[in-house]
Amino acid sequence: MSRPVVTRIAPSPTGSMHIGTARTALFNHLYARRHGGKFLIRVEDTDRERSTQENVDILFQGFAWLGLASDEEPVYQAQRADRHREVVDELVQRGAAFRCWMTPEETEAAREVARAEGRALRSTWRDRTDGDPSQPHVIRFRTPDDQPVVVVDAVQGEVSFPSKDLDDLVLLRSSGEPTYNLAVVVDDHDMGISHVIRGDDHLNNTPRQALIYDAMDWERPVFAHVPLIHGPDGKKLSKRHGATSVAEYADQGYLPEAMRNYLARLGWSHGDDELFSDAQAESWFDLEHIGRAPARLDFDKLNHVNGWWIRQADDERLAALVQQVRAGRGDVVADADLPRLIRAIPMVKDRADTLIALADQLAFALLNRPLAIAEKPAAQLTDEARARLARLADRLAGLETWDAAFLDDSLKGFAEAEEVGMGKIGPPLRAALTGGVASPDIAKTLAALGKAESLGRMADVLSPQA
C-alpha cells in the first residue's frame, strides 16, 4: 500500500516570492491534485529577523495571487521548536546523536585533521561520556563513518553520497535552537509529507536528511529535485534577466492562470502541449517528465501564453484588471465610462499580450473630452474634411443600430454618397474620435465608444470652443 500523497511548499519569508518558489509550489500542488492528495504550506520562519509579519504576508499574497492555497492550516516552523528538541532527545536516546562540548578552537582543529585526511568533520565527543550536560554544548548527528548514503530521486535518479563527506551535523545549537536540516525532517514527517518536490539546490541536504529519517525509523518521502530556473541566456536567474518575483509579474500584467500555465511548462512537459488549463495540468502532471536540464525563462513564450489567456478571459474581469492598472497610474475610471471600457475589450483583446498592453490599447475609450489631438491627425482635419465630418455626424445621428458591422456598412454608404474613397473619411474621423491614440478598426472604434460618445467627440472637433 502506498501512502497518501501529501506535498508541501516550504518557503522562508524573505520579502518577496521568487518565481522559482512559485514554480515549486505549483508542481507540488499539481502533483497533489493529480493523486487526489493534499498540498500544504509550511512557513520556514526560523530566521527571526527576516520573518516579519510583513514578509509572511508577502508570501501569502503571492500564493493568493497564484491561486494556490494550503489544504490545511499553514504550519509555522518556528512554533515547532519544542517538537524538534523532542526528536533530538530521541535521537540521543537511540544513540544516533550525541552531546558535543568541543570549543570553537577544538572544532577548528578537528576540521583541519579531517581536511588533511580527506573527510568531513568528526566530533571528538562521539564516544565520550564524561561531558557535563550543565555546560554549554551542541547535539550532533552521529554520521556513519564511511558508507554510501543512497538517495533515490524521482528526477535525478539514484544519487549516492559518501558519508565520510558529511559532517557530524549539528542538530541542536548550544542555544537550544534546532538546525535547519533537523527541523525540515521533523516537520515533513509530522505533516505526513509523502513527496518532497523542491529545487535541486537542496539536493546536497538530502543525504543528511535521509540519515535522520533512517535513524528515527521514519519512512523517507519520495524526493524530486527540480533543476533551478535559468535566465534566457542559460545562466542562473538573476535580477538582470528581468522580473524574478511573483509580484513583479503581477505588476507587469500577467494573469495568474497564464503564469500557472507557463510555469507548469517550465521544466516539465506533456508532449508538445503549451496551452492548457489547470484541469488539464492537474490530470497530466507527473514527476517522470520533469527535465534534468535547467529550464530557461523565455519572455516571448510567456507573452504568447499570457496573450492566449487574455483572449480566454471574461471581458468584465479584464475591465476590472485594466481599472487596476490605470489606478496604479493614478487614473481612476469613472463608473460612467465602464460600459465603454467593457465594450471596447473584445475589439482589442486579441492584440494584447499583457494587461499593461491591454490598458494601453484601451486608452482610446477613456479619453477626456475634448480630446487633445496630436499634430499628425490634426492635419487631417482640413476644412473640407470637417465639412464632410459634419455631414457624417448628421447621418450617424440618425442611426438606430450601433454595432460594428452596421457602422461599417453605413460608412461605406456614406463614402459612396460623397463619391470619395474611405481614405477621405477614415483618417479625419479617427482624428476626431481618438486624437491619434491607437484604436481598432474605425467601425469598431465607433461601436466601442457608443453613439453618444462618438457624436460628442465629433462635435468637439467641429465646433472647437477652446
* Of 236, 239, 376, 412, catalytic: 239
Is 184 among the residues that bind ligand GLU (CB under 6 A)? yes
* Choice from 34, 164, 202, 301 touching ligand GLU (CB under 6 A): 202
What is the crossing angle of helices 442-449 and 426-434, to 10°? 30
Tell me the closest approach of the beta carbon of residue 186 to ligand GLU, in angstroms: 12
Site residue total, ligand GLU (CB under 6 A): 7
> CA of 425: how far to CAs of 59, 186, 376, 383, 437, in Å?
54, 75, 15, 13, 17
Is 333 among the residues that bind ligand GLU (CB under 6 A)? no
348 grid coordinates? 482589442
Is 198 among the residues that bind ligand GLU (CB under 6 A)? yes
Binding span for ligand GLU by CB under 6 A among 10-18, 125-133, 310-318, 407-415: 10-18
CA pair distance 121, 115, nearest whole angstrom: 8
> Is 301 in the active site?
no
Is 189 among the residues that bind ligand GLU (CB under 6 A)? no
Binding span for ligand GLU by CB under 6 A among 6-14, 103-111, 150-158, 422-430: 6-14
Is 12 among the residues that bind ligand GLU (CB under 6 A)? yes
Task: Name every residue whose Cβ is closer than 8 Å to that of residue 461 and which is 6 or more positions away in sequence.
Answer: 370, 371, 373, 381, 386, 389, 431, 432
Is 270 among the residues that bind ligand GLU (CB under 6 A)? no
* Choice from 5, 6, 7, 11 touching ligand GLU (CB under 6 A): 11
H or E stretch covering 196: strand 195-199
Is 10 among the residues that bind ligand GLU (CB under 6 A)? yes
In the bound state with ligand GLU, the residue whose beta carbon lies nearer, of 196 and 259, is 196
87 grid coordinates? 526528536
In the bound state with ligand GLU, the residue whose beta carbon lies nearer, of 187 and 453, is 187
Is 44 among the residues that bind ligand GLU (CB under 6 A)? yes
Tell me the closest approach of the beta carbon of residue 180 to ligand GLU, in angstroms: 8
H or E stretch covering 139: strand 138-141
Binding span for ligand GLU by CB under 6 A among 5-13, 55-63, 328-336, 359-367: 5-13
Q: What is the DSSP string of 297-361?
A: --HHHHHHHHHHHHHHS-HHHHHHHHHHHHHHTT-PPPGGGHHHHHHHHHHHGGG-SSHHHHHHH
Tell me the closest approach of the beta carbon of residue 44 to ligand GLU, in angstroms: 4
List helix spans (H) across 134-236: 180-190, 206-215
- 3-class SS of residue 172: strand
Tell me the closest approach of the beta carbon of residue 21 to ligand GLU, in angstroms: 7
**Residues in contact with ligand GLU by the rule CB under 6 A:** 10-12, 44, 184, 198, 202
Would you name the residues annotated as active-site residues?
A: 239
